[in-house]
Structure 1
């Protein structure tokens, strides 16, 4: 067993996670097959939880895999999940699967993001959409949030920029609520401070949404003289056993109307 004498105690960390999840001690105990008394003793430091209990509570609270390792260390245990670099030979199969997955969506844009919104894989559909973006924003590592919201990126071409920007910032805020990440917090503060360019037509009113997209917020963007409308979907790996893999997300931009589908296939 390892110790972390200088780090935060496991009890307050678990209490913070429980409160952010909006659960009482009794509700957490019922979900984790424990007792409210035992949960209380763990949170106040009167009882040291076992390794199995830390992992069980973390899973019950839907704590991200990286943060589960942090909870284990705070409790005096070694991390349970490795953090393998994506370019490691051990993840060659994952990389191949991601490349095949994004290629299968062509001509629709698809990309793979890590936990900091850096693009680790993308298809030709996305490359076409990025035409006209300032070269300095396309230098590796390419960051999806920066490219989308920067005034020299896609932002001036996004017809519903205020709504889409709000959606992306809310998404980052939800992620920050689940994990303590200084780099992610710095990225959020950077992109949130970008000036918001005016809409392409100079109007303060975004265009009406297509009928097919009214059940979800679409990304409406100008591209090569046409207005394209996309619905964004995000897929993650189920029950990942590696920190790196747990933070990967496959985002696809699917046509929100027949005109967009036709334009992409024609291109």
Structure 2
């Protein structure tokens, strides 16, 4: 069931979103060659504990994962695209890292993801990351009362097509509010002017993610990490966005 949020509730989500942006700033700034993924995970754990926030990931046990998730970040490297399980891995120059973080503060959640190059970026990775960010901006611009959800999804898919990247529709964006995952599902491609009518007070996590040369994915032996089926690299951008009378409001925007 989808809940329309009041302006006051959206303000509370914005507080949570600002903290998620701080977490992503800290984690991605630390992401240098020679740094272990677990160093990033533990930095986020410390910040969350100090803030009195609650991780949406800790003990998360969806149908597609293997048992409870016992980390506060999803960290995906190179061909890993989603649900990257933090582990003992030392980042190397040229790696492509995606950090995805969701927390709850005072009962309200926010979710955001960011892809960055570690050290010296590869041009093809820079282009892939750029595509996810352009697609996210295009989708956010369609988050207006009276539009249809398919128009938001189509904006993402159109950008991916313009860059020449395929789109996977198994995983996408989602509603968010009192919990991390709420209705509706937001595919990363769709038909304009079709689907759910967008209304003031809706809050969605929009998350375009693309693999460079495939729309097929496989799951790691760890039971969580999803990778491109052909080993091509992946990137991911995500913001939590509210629909207001004045248009879209990004709740996880960096300060």
Name the TM-score, length of structure 1 as normaliser: 0.27
Larger radius of gyration: 1
Name the TM-score, length of structure 2 as normaliser: 0.28
Q: Which structure features the higher share of strand residues?
A: 2
Q: Which structure features the higher share of helix residues?
A: 1
Task: Kindly indicate whether structure 1 or structure 2 has the higher relative contact order, using CA contacts under 8 Å at least 6 residues apart.
Answer: 2
